[in-house]
A and B are shown apart, each in its own frame.
Chain A
């Protein structure tokens, strides 16, 4: 039953560019995919280790700028820029984790916020490198070419959709394998009972830093995709709104579950757009807020855990 459901979902996603004819809808799907990667990334920290990163947009932005700068200044091919974005963001995650995760908790929240603030200021003020508030236009599209052998372009929306789908699926797989392994068990143990975790030999700082690195690297991947998709990067990528959006997606979808951030990301990308179709801008924001409050109020653990409970209870009634 579950397999069939997943198969149908997979087929629908793979065929999306064929049944979603409106290019604007394809654009929404692409943004949903990018936010899925971001939400999965934040969930690894917030959901599994219990550490809240309120500067997560920084890793997203670092990925975006790395890709854009390498492509524009050094003519790196997009795929190489993508790999570099993952590595540079991961490195940033390592640095932030190293200085803050010894003390963790509130301290980690503060350091991540400050980090995002500092990075934002750098992107605005280091004119020679980043072109300041004007940003970097003309980022080339995502193309993979081996000289004379083959060429693969993700310039069109449907093609880029498949690229994002692939990376999101990979991010999901990374999360799934991680959380069902000894590493994921260490994350959960640290979230639930740090003293007990340490007493059975789990090195708290080491595993939290590892979570920060993987999480930041994933956000960097999303940033790189974003840069090559919108073809433009500006300091706005570091804005707090992005972080807040990610937190909303993770919490509303269900933190500490695998499907939660995916559901949250798709829901909260598609929902504002759907509202835009039916109402004016002001109503859209209001309705969005009301829906958010209702979700938090009625499904405090998030959509996915609520669905799971509901299914379990229904099965218990009808054996």
Chain B
């Protein structure tokens, strides 16, 4: 067991976005969360990563509660997320975007930096090489010098993935990483996600494309109107009558 959400409730101005939602994300697997627009998927991500305080309920990661921690503290515990809306550092070069993602791996303190100690320079060199490696992994090596904001949409989404990977997640939360991509790009992203899982990273995925979700997931959680209406293996969920009526009917 890796991540556990217990009876989580979130209200926006009296309207329930999440109502007593409980589920688990198992370590080393790909778990997907699906559901129609407005089901509460992004809201759940925001609570898990500390961007939103829930009204009730709690989040446990490897047995420890995450409640009350700030986003950066949750990242320190190895939980890293991407955002549904494209999110890069637009004026910064692509390679530096990934370097920013490497923040938690760096140790250099203020004094060492001002004195430009040798180990600071060595650390910079090691991390630059690492950033290049991560960029190559997502297939953006050729863009390294360009400002991130100048990249086409699909490539910005890949860069977001690279930034998140740089933060060395043990649990990676991806909020519609393939939205807005063409079919070829989507297939490529799913391939990347599989490889990320193979490296031992637990993946928690939100995605609308049913075909992709069913093909890649070990487990699927279905959210509808702020409630979990089904969860299980892709096959089981797909044939669940409640899911069929809610998910397909809800469109």
In the complex, whether A159 has a CB less than 8 A from a CB of chain B is no
Given the complex, which residues of B lie within 8 Å of A189, measured CB to CB? 89, 92, 100, 103
A189 to B96, CA, bound (A): 10
Given the complex, which residues of B lie within 8 Å of A185, measured CB to CB? 96, 99-100, 103
Complex contact A195–B75 (CB within 8 A) = no
- Closest beta carbon of chain A to B172's beta carbon, Å: 11
In the complex, whether A200 has a CB less than 8 A from a CB of chain B is yes
Complex contact A200–B49 (CB within 8 A) = no
In the complex, whether B247 has a CB less than 8 A from a CB of chain A is no
In the complex, whether B164 has a CB less than 8 A from a CB of chain A is yes
In the complex, whether A198 has a CB less than 8 A from a CB of chain B is yes
A197 to B97, CA, bound (A): 10
- Measured CB to CB, the nearest residue on chain B to A183 is B113
A168 to B90, CA, bound (A): 31
In the complex, whether B114 has a CB less than 8 A from a CB of chain A is yes
Given the complex, which residues of B lie within 8 Å of A198, measured CB to CB? 70-72, 75
Interface-forming stretch among B54-62, B76-84, B229-237?
A: B76-84
Chain A's interface: helix, strand, loop or mixed, by majority?
A: helix
A150 to B249, CA, bound (A): 89
Partner of B167, one of A174, A193, A200, A203: A200
Partner of B92, one of A182, A192, A200: A192
How many chain A residues touch B (CB < 8 A): the figure is: 23
Complex contact A201–B72 (CB within 8 A) = yes
Complex contact B113–A200 (CB within 8 A) = no
A174 to B163, CA, bound (A): 27
Given the complex, which residues of A lie within 8 Å of B104, measured CB to CB? 200-201
0/1 per residue, A168-186, Cβ < 8 Å to B?
Answer: 0000001001100111011
A35 to B95, CA, bound (A): 34
- Measured CB to CB, the nearest residue on chain A to B167 is A200
In the complex, whether A204 has a CB less than 8 A from a CB of chain B is yes
In the complex, whether B15 has a CB less than 8 A from a CB of chain A is no
**8 A–B pairs (Cβ distance < 8 Å), ordered by A:** A189-B92, A195-B51, A195-B71, A196-B89, A196-B163, A199-B72, A200-B80, A201-B167
Given contact pairs A196-B87, A197-B89, enumerate 16 new A-B contacts (beta carbons under 8 Å). A182-B103, A182-B108, A185-B103, A186-B100, A188-B89, A188-B96, A188-B100, A192-B89, A192-B91, A193-B88, A195-B87, A198-B70, A199-B80, A200-B101, A200-B103, A202-B72
> Which residues from chain A sit less than 8 Å from chain B, CB to CB?
174, 177-178, 181-183, 185-186, 188-189, 192-193, 195-204, 210
